[in-house]
Amino acid sequence: MQNIHSVLTSIVLVEGGAKMNETLRSAADLGKTWALYPPGVNPPSIDNIEIIRIDTDIPHTLNAVLNNTESEYLAVVPEGAVVFDNLPDKLKRIEKDFGFIYGDWIENEAGREITKEAYSGPEDITERADLGPVVIYRTADLKRIGGWDEKLKYAFDYDARLKIGEISRLYRIPEPICRFHPPQIDKSSADKLFFPGKGKFGGFSYLFLEPEEEEEIEGVFLNALKRRKAYLKGEAPPMSYEKSDSPLVSVITPVFNREKYIGLAIESVIGGELRDFEYIIIDNGSTDNTIDVVEKYAAVDKRIRLIRNNINRIAYSLNLGLKAARGKYISQLDSDDLYTPRTLKAMTEYMEDTNCALAISYYSLIDQDGNDLPEFGIIKHLEYSRNNILRVDGAGAVRMWRRSAMMQFGGFDEKDLCDYGEDYDLVLKMGEKYSIGRVHEVLYKYRRHPDNSDIKRDPLFKLRNKNLARERALARRKEMNIE
């Protein structure tokens, strides 16, 4: 047992719930355990557990444990996690250059035990990385970065993970290391967004942070970019002026089996204030009546063009529309979403005035019947900057691009990001070279419904694609700073 104790020390974050004792005993069986208790919770008496009341800041308390352990690894265990007794043996087999370790876990869903796969792929540099309930630090690496930053209130764990990722590597144990009973939360709102990642709203959680917390998290991230030599100073310049021809803007919509919504999308474009546009709709092999709906509109409005395409890959489809487009600007519209009457007019006027390469508006959310979802308010993405965009999952909608700028970057990535993240990747590239503007007006209606493409995609696939785009952007930015 003494040998096991030398491998692992655990810190259990106690909340006083029903699974408290089970969590504590599973950790204590593996080695020295420190239980961090908030005021008002009465801890049980269990052998091998040291009790600490959290009367000071949490990072200060965590560092007190770090400075009093000689174990090779230090695990942070939330209440509700029951750690498996073979974890120390698994840790012994991991190479020494991995400083942050996590693994899969088991949850009970509707009476069935389900193995949850932790994220693996390019490093997730966001605070929303869902790496499982139990995280494990190599003690030597944690001490090397100075432990947890005691000046931080919200993001001390995020800061520590980023810093360890800069001096060593992250490792996923590809099998369950614990059984987890997560706290019960109201998922009704989250389900309407359905984005992967930590937090009630998954990948959208950063949109609902309190200002103080958002400021701290962003500061941690920007400091990490500076340490990694990937921080871009100043603002990117606008593009040179280009003469406008007709049509002024090309709207592009890829579509697959959207007979219920495509007519509404078309009407939101043709019913708008701006008349100088073309509307290119790329059908990706629909098997319902989508093509019939589009052709009915195209028969009476020659600005609407249908491209038939049998390759249902989003980036490929978007590039077909881009190559066919004649407008100075390209405006995206998903087949189940809507423009407002002012969308094209407001966006093109802004683009003409500023010569930015990309402009983005505010948007709001609607349900499958077109009803507003007021609990989310107006999505503004005011946290956007050419650096912070690497942390957040998007910049907003509607997106209107200068077509010549898109062609400079070769359009959307069809090779590695063909089915997700292609627009995020292009936003990253665009902001590195040219200015991106913001139109402070709701000009897009983003529909969330059970048949939404985002809901059907595997959450880990989505995370990997976004993180691949981030990884490549980090490499480009380092090269830019060398130059």
pLDDT band at 1 (very low <50, low <70, confident <90, very high): very low
DSSP state of 129: -
Residue 392: is it exposed, middle or buried by C-beta count within 10 angstroms (0-12/13-18/19+)? buried
Q: Are residues 36 and 164 in the same domain?
A: yes
Q: What's phi and psi for 330, nearest 5 deg?
A: -120, 125
The predicted pLDDT at position 207 comes to: 62
Could you say which of 184, 202, 237 is where a domain stops?
Answer: 184
Task: Please indicate, yes or no, if residue 217 is contained in any of the structural domains.
Answer: no
pLDDT band at 54 (very low <50, low <70, confident <90, very high): confident
Lowest mean pLDDT among 327-341, 361-375, 428-442: 361-375
Q: Is residue 333 included in any domain, yes or no? A: yes
The verdict on residue 85 lying in a domain is: yes
pLDDT level of residue 205 (50, 70, 90 thresholds): low
**Is the separation of the CB atoms in 104 and 84 below 8 Å?**
no
Q: Which residue has the tokens 């052709």?
A: 295
Share of the chain above pLDDT 90, in %: 77
Q: Are residues 373 and 290 in the same domain?
A: yes
Same domain, yes or no, for 306 and 389?
A: yes
pTM for this prediction: 0.91
Q: Which amino acid makes up residue 412? A: F
The helix (H) or strand (E) run that includes residue 206 is none
Q: Are residues 431 and 282 part of one domain? A: yes
DSSP 289-331: SHHHHHHHHHHH-TTEEEEE-----HHHHHHHHHHH--SSEEE
User: Looking at the domain assignment, is residue 341 inside a domain?
Assistant: yes
My answer on whether 263 and 388 are in the same domain is yes
Integer Cα distance of 294 and 279 in angstroms: 11
Domain at 256, CATH number = 3.90.550.10
- Where does residue 95 rank: exposed (0-12), middle (13-18), buried (19+ CB within 10 A)? exposed
- Tokens 């030398």 map to which residue? 6
Neighbours of 180 (CB within 10 A): 22
Q: How far apart are CA 206 and CA 208, in angstroms?
A: 5
Specify whether 150 is located in the same domain as 274: no
Who has greater pLDDT, 451 or 203?
Answer: 451
Q: In which domain, by residue range, is 97 found?
A: 2-184
- Residue 57 lies inside a defined structural domain of this protein: yes
**Distance (Å, whole) CA 84 – CA 66:** 22
Q: What DSSP state is assigned to residue 240?
A: P
Chain position carrying tokens 């104790």: 5
The answer on pLDDT for 418 being more than 50 is yes
> How many domains does one find in the chain?
2
254 in the same domain as 176: no
Residue 323 is encoded by which pair of tokens? 């190559």
Lowest-confidence pick of 43-52, 214-223, 409-418, 473-482: 43-52
Which of 130, 152, 184 delimits the end of a domain? 184
pLDDT digits (tens, 9 = 90+) for 248-274: 999 999 999 999 999 999 999 999 999
Checking if the pLDDT of 427 tops 60, the result is: yes
Beta strands in 309-435 (DSSP E): 329-332, 338-339, 358-366, 399-402
179 and 273 part of one domain: no
Structure tokens at 184: 């019960």
Q: CA torsion 206→207→208→210, rounded to 10°?
A: 70
Lowest mean pLDDT among 187-191, 299-303, 411-415: 187-191
Tokens of residue 110, six digits = 């509707």
CA dihedral 194, 341, 299, 264 (to 10 degrees): 30
CA distance 350 to 346: 6
Q: Where are the alpha helices (DSSP H) in 195-305?
A: 211-227, 262-270, 290-300
Residue 246, number of CB atoms within 10 A of its CB: 11
The CA-atom distances, in angstroms, between 234 and each of 237, 322, 432, 437 are 9, 30, 11, 15
**Which residues does residue 161 pair with via DSSP β-bridges, in sequence order?**
none
* pLDDT tens-digit map of 63-103: 999 999 989 999 999 999 999 999 999 999 999 999 999 99
Residue 380 vs residue 188, higher pLDDT: 380
Q: Is 168 found in the same domain as 83?
A: yes
- Residues 432 and 434: their CA atoms lie apart, in Å, by 6
Last residue in a domain, options 159, 184, 209: 184
Task: Give residue 41's pLDDT band: very low, low, confident or very high (50, 70, 90).
Answer: confident
Asked, for residue 178, whether it belongs to a domain, the answer is yes
pLDDT of residue 174: 95
Do 176 and 268 belong to one domain? no
What is the rounded radius of gyration, in angstroms, for the C-alpha atoms of the chain? 25
What is the spatial distance between Cα 408 and Cα 164, in angstroms, rounded to a whole number? 36
What six digits make up the tokens of 160?
């520590």
**Is residue 196 pLDDT above 50, yes or no?**
no
Q: Which of left, alpha, beta for 367 (phi over 0: left; psi -120 to 50: alpha)?
A: beta
Which of the pair, 226 or 459, is modelled with greater confidence? 226
Q: Following CA atoms 98, 1, 65, 17 in sequence, which dihedral angle do they give, to the nearest 10 degrees?
A: 100
Residues 115 and 253 in one domain: no
* Residue 422: how many other CB atoms lie within 10 Å: 23
pLDDT for the residue 201 = 47
* Within-domain flag for 263: yes
**Structural domain includes residue 35:** yes
Assess whether 286 and 400 both reside in one domain. yes
Tell me what pLDDT residue 195 has.
45
